[in-house]
Structure 1
Amino acid sequence: MINMIFQCAIADESDAVKRLCILSEFIMLRRFLDNIQALVRTVKLNQLGIEGSIEFVDAYGSNMHVSMGN
């Protein structure tokens, strides 16, 4: 994924295109980190015996719902 930023930025010399590539990659990275945080919270709840569920959002904005319980 990170390589895509540099390939996109190098392919076009326009500053606007470079900024757009970096912004889109940042958004995908942010969603990935949000998913990891939600998973950690769900696992912690599960360890306490509390059933939980999590909804992942992938880099393209698609949702995936996962339920976890004992």
Structure 2
Amino acid sequence: MINMIFQCAIADESDAVKRLCMLSEFIMLRRFLDNIQALVRTVKLNQLGIEGSIEFVDAYGSNMHVSMGN
């Protein structure tokens, strides 16, 4: 997905389109990092014997609920 945004920015010479592509890339990267942080927190809770659940948000804004426990 991120590669597609880079291609979008390279293919179009318009500054506005480049900025929009960069913003989209930032939002997707931020969501990816948030998902990783949520997963790390959940794994730490599970190591302590505490059940947890997380919700991933993909680049399109779709949610995927994941429950983890003992």
Shorter-normalised TM-score: what interval? Answer: over 0.9
Give, in whole Å, the separation in 1 of the partners of 2:13 and 2:21.
Answer: 12
Does the residue aligned with 2:13 lie in a helix, a strand or coil?
Answer: coil
Cα deviation, 1:7-61, whole Å, max 9, x if unaligned, reads 1122111100000001101100110000000000000000000000000000100
RMSD: 1.0
Per-residue deviation, 1:3: 2.7
Does the residue aligned with 2:64 lie in a helix, a strand or coil?
Answer: strand
TM-score normalised by L of structure 1: 0.92
Per-residue deviation, 1:4: 2.3
> Quick one: percent identity of the two aligned structures?
99
TM-score normalised by L of structure 2: 0.92
Give, in whole Å, the separation in 2 of the partners of 1:6 and 1:56.
Answer: 23
Runs of 4+ in 1 over 6 A off after TM superposition: none
